[in-house]
Amino acid sequence: MTEPSALDNLLTESRSFPPSEEFAAQANATAALQQEADADREAFWAKQAERLSWATKWDQVLDWSGAPFAKWFVGGKLNVAYNCVDRHVESGHGDQVAIHWVGEPGDTRTITYADLKREVSKTANALLSLGLEAGDRVAIYMPMVPEAIFSMLACARLGLVHSVVFGGFSAEALRSRIEDAAAKLVITTDGQYRRGNPVSLKAAVDEAVEKTPTIGNVLVVRRTGGQVDWVDGRDLWWHDVVDAQSENHTPEAFDAEHPLFILYTSGTTGRPKGILHTSGGYLTQASYTHYNVFDLKPDTDVYWCTADIGWVTGHSYIVYGPLSNRATQIVYEGTPNTPHEGRHWEVIQQYKVSIYYTAPTLIRTFMKWGEDIPARYDLSSLRVLGSVGEPINPEAWIWYREHIGAGKTPVVDTWWQTETGAIMVAPLPGVTVAKPGSAMGPLPGIGAKVVDDTGKEVGKGGGGYLVLDKPWPSMLRGVWGDEQRYRETYWARFADQGYYFAGDGAKYDEDGAIWLLGRVDDVMLVSGHNISTTEVESALVSHNRVAEAAVVGATDPTTGQGIVAFVILRGIKEDEDGTALVKELREHVAKEIGPIAKPRQVMVVAELPKTRSGKIMRRLLRDVAENRQIGDVTTLADSTVMDLISSGLNSGKGED
C-alpha cells in the first residue's frame, strides 16, 4: 500500500482569465517585477523600502542570523505616521481626500490628508499629555469611526504600540488582551451602531478595566450619545482632551525594528496569541502589496476595503497600506444590510469606488441575496476586485467577477495571515492569468511552496502543506511575551528545513498554481484519504441551490471519518421535498470530485457559525456532528447561531 498523500487533490478547474490588454498596459506591476525579485531578492526589497521616506537609511537589508527572529532594514529609522500622512501634505496633496467616512445611520465625514495630519497631531499631543512614552501599549476598542484611525496613527507617530481589540468582543476578551500586553490606556467610544441600533461599548470597558490595574485612563469618543457610567480621574472625553490640543506635532524617527502593533489572533484553539509587528519591514510590504496587487492609482482611484480595523486586514489594507500610498478610500461604519441589502452597491455608485476588497463570506451572502440587487446600481467605476480571509470557491469567484465586476475586472484572491502582516500569495492583476478559486502564486519577493510531511516540495497536481521558505519584511517578530510559543507554533513543524508553517493545506494544480485548501486542523481522513474541507465545500457551492457550505469530519465506524455537510440553501421553497434535494447534493459532490468525497450526511441550516472576520468555525460544527458539548464560543459573531443549528438538528430536520 502506498502512503496516503498529505492532502488529496480532487477538484479540477479549467476556466482561466487573463488580464485585458487594456488593463495590462496601464498596470503598476508588470512581469519585470518578478524578474527583478529573482535576480536579487534583497536588492528588490531595498527598492521597495525606498518607496517610503526614511530619516536614516539602513546599513543592512536583512539580518536573519537570529532566526526565527528577523531584522529588516537594520539601522534604518523612520516614522510610520509621517509616511502615511505628513509626507503627502508636504508633496502638495493636502487637499486630497484621504477618507470618505460613511456612518451607519447615514452621517458622513470627508477627511483630507491635511485634516488627517491635524487630527493625528492633536491626538498625538493628547496622548503625550496623558504621560505615555514610546514603547507603552495602548488598547483601542472602537467601532469603525475616524477616531480609531487617528488613534492608531497617533500611536505610530509616538512609537506607542497599539493593540486593537475588535469592538464586538466581550469585556473578558478585552480584559485578557489588556492584561497580556500590560496596556496603560484604552481608547473607546460611548457606544456603537449595530444593525441600525445604538449599543453600549463603554460598559464593557468599565468591566474589563476593573481587573486591569495597568490602565491609567480611558479615553472616550462620543459616538452614539448613549448613557455612560463615569469614573472621575480615570475616564476622559475625547472632545475635552483632544480638541484643545495644538495641531502641530513634530514626528520623531524610530528604529526600523521598533514595535508598531500587537494584534491578538485566537487560531482554532488555545489562548489568543499577541502577534507582534514592527515598523520598517511591515510598512514596506504593506505598501508594496497594496500598490501592486490592487494596482492603486492614487490620483484617480477610490479604494474600499470592507474589513474592520479589529482585523489585520483593517490594519494593513485600511490604515497602513492605503495611507502610505496616498489612497482616497471609503471607510464604512455599518453592516452590509443596514438599512438595506444594496448598501455596498449604493456606496460604490455614489463615490465611484474603483477598487473593492472584501471576504468570501460576504460574496456568498450577496449571492444568497440575489444578483438582482447589485444589478440595480451603477457599478461601472469598479476596475479591481479583491478577496481575503478564506478560500474563495470557484463559483463565488465567477459570480463576483460576473455580477459585481461586469464580467471584466480582474479578481485578486489574496492569501495571507495576521502573522504574515501583508499579502503573500496572490495574482498580479495586470500579469497573472487568474483561475477562479486559486490564489495563484507567491508575490515577487516572497517564497512560498507546498510540501509533504517530510518537508519535500510536492509535484504538480500534489497536495500538502503551505510553507514560507524565506523570511519576508512584514513577518511577525514573535508572540508577545512568549518566545517558546512563537518557536513551537510556527517553526517546529519544519525545523529541519527552517520553514515557517502557516497551518494551511494547499495543492499545486497541473500548471503549478497554488490552491489553498483550508486549515490542516480541519482536514478529514476518510478511508485513508486526506480530504480538504475546501474542495468538498466548493463542490457543494457549485450546485445552484447552495449558497454556503461547511463540511467537517465526524467519527465513522467504517471509514474512520465520515463527511458531514452543513448547507445554506438559495431560494427556500415551501413544501419542498428536502430528502430529494439532500440526495441530489450528495450525488452532485460525488459527480464533481469523486465518490470518496460524497458526504455521509447533509444538513440544511439557516446560518453557519463564523468568527467576526467571517471565517467558518468548523470546530463548533464538529462538536455538533459528533453530538458533543459545544466548545468555546467567545469568538463567534452571533452566539445564537449554535443553538439554532443544534435545535434544528435534534429535531432531525434535513438529515439524510
Q: Give contact residues for ligand 6R9 (rule: CB under 6 A).
A: 265, 312-313, 388-391, 413-418, 439, 502-504, 516, 519, 613
Phi, psi of 34 (to 5 degrees): -65, -40
Of the pair 394, 562, the CB lying nearest ligand 6R9 is at 394
Local structure of 199: helix, strand or coil:
strand
Min separation Cβ 308 and ligand 6R9, Å: 11
Sequence ranges of the binding site for ATP: 389-391, 413-418, 504, 519
Our CB check for ligand 6R9 shows the closer of 253 and 434 to be: 434
Closest CB to ligand 6R9 among residues 214, 265: 265
**Helix, strand, coil % (nearest 5) of the chain?**
30, 25, 45
3-state per-residue secondary structure call for 71-127: EEEECCEECHHHHHHHHHHHHHHCCCEEEEEECCCCCEEEEEHHHHHHHHHHHHHHH
Give the residue from 214, 291, 255, 284 showing the smallest Cα distance to 29: 291
CA–CA separation, 261 vs 477, rounded Å?
11
The full 3-state SS of 308-375, as one line of letters, equals CCCCHHHHHHHHHHHHHCCCCEEEECCCCCCCCCCHHHHHHHHHCCCEEEECHHHHHHHHHHCCHHHH
- Measured in degrees and rounded to the nearest 5, phi and psi for residue 349 equal -65, -45
Closer by beta carbon to ligand 6R9, 174 or else 516: 516
The beta strand positions in 362-481, using DSSP E, are 384-387, 411-413, 448-451, 463-468
From 206, 243, 194, 200, select the one nearest 225 (Cα to Cα): 200
Q: How far is the CB of 519 from ligand 6R9 (least distance, A)?
A: 5
Direct distance between the N- and C-terminal alpha carbons of the chain, in angstroms, rounded to an integer? 33
CB of 312 to ligand 6R9, least distance (A): 5
Strand segments (E) across 463-523 = 463-468, 500-508, 514-519
Annotated binding site: 194-197, 313, 337, 389-391, 413-418, 504, 519, 527, 541, 543, 546
Tell the smallest beta-carbon distance from residue 534 to ligand 6R9 (Å).
8
Q: Which helix (H) or strand (E) holds 178?
A: helix 171-181
How near is the Cβ of 418 to ligand 6R9 at its closest, in Å? 3
Grid cell, residue 378, equals: 451603477
Least Å distance, CB 306 to ligand 6R9, is 13
Minimum gap (Å) between residue 414 Cβ and ligand 6R9:
5
Round to whole Å and give the CA distance between 517 and 325.
32
Nearer to ligand 6R9, 73 or 515 (CB): 515
Strands of the sheet with 448-451, listed across from one edge:
448-451, 463-468, 500-508, 514-519
Q: Which of 422, 424, 321 is nearest to 83 (CA)?
A: 321
CA 64 to chain centre: 27
Cβ closer to ligand 6R9: 466 or 582?
Answer: 466
Between 325 and 474, name the residue whose CB sits nearer to ligand 6R9: 474
Q: Which is nearer to ligand 6R9, 124 or 422 (CB)?
A: 422
Q: How far is the CB of 452 from ligand 6R9 (least distance, A)?
A: 19
Asked if residue 333 lies in contact with residue 104, where contact means CB atoms within 8 angstroms, the answer is yes
Output the known binding site for CoA.
Answer: 194-197, 313, 337, 527
One-letter amino acid for residue 483 of the chain: E
* Cβ 504 to ligand 6R9 shortest distance, Å: 5
323/502 with CB nearer ligand 6R9: 502
Known binding-site residues for Mg(2+) equal: 541, 543, 546
Smallest separation, CB 523 to ligand 6R9 (Å): 12
Minimum separation from the CB atom of position 224 to ligand 6R9 (A): 28
Q: Are strands 254-255 and 77-78 parallel, antiparallel or unpaired?
A: antiparallel
Q: Which is nearer to ligand 6R9, 586 or 618 (CB)?
A: 618
Strand order in the sheet with 97-102: 108-112, 97-102, 329-332, 303-305, 355-358, 384-387, 411-413
Nearer to ligand 6R9, 115 or 180 (CB): 180
